[in-house]
């Protein structure tokens, strides 16, 4: 069992992470949607390789959500990166950005 001291030590290492929640945008049914989403995926892969996007999760079965991304950079930088995303610029995707807290080093199992 985790003691209070161990929990406090772990929590003391927490830091802020911008979390992006993607939703279908107002132009989600555009003809070139698949191409734009492919390039969105390529951008995510590039950001992952560069250490800027720590975790990306697709949510394929939801009509209301498209995905979630956890970034390892400042919120302003995330906004710049999202502004360069063609799927967002074209309205295929929209997003909301949240400040979240996490423990550095957490990972998917």
Q: What is the pLDDT of residue 104?
A: 94
How far apart are alpha carbons 95 and 11 in whole angstroms?
28
What is this structure's pTM?
0.91
Q: What is the pLDDT of residue 57?
A: 97
Q: What is the pLDDT of residue 53?
A: 97
Q: What is the pLDDT of residues 36-90, one digit of tens each?
A: 999 999 999 999 999 999 999 999 999 999 999 999 999 999 999 999 999 999 9
């Amino acid at each position: 069992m985790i003691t209070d001291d161990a929990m406090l030590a772990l929590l003391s290492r927490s830091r802020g992470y911008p979390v992006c929640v993607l939703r279908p945008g107002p132009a989600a049914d555009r003809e070139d949607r698949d191409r734009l989403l492919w390039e969105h995926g390529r951008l995510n892969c590039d950001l992952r390789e560069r250490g800027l996007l720590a975790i990306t999760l697709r949510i394929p079965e939801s009509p209301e959500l498209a995905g979630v991304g956890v970034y390892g950079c400042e919120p302003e930088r995330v906004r710049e990166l999202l502004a360069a995303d063609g799927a967002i610029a074209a309205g295929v995707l929209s997003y909301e950005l949240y400040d979240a807290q996490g423990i550095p080093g957490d990972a998917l199992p």
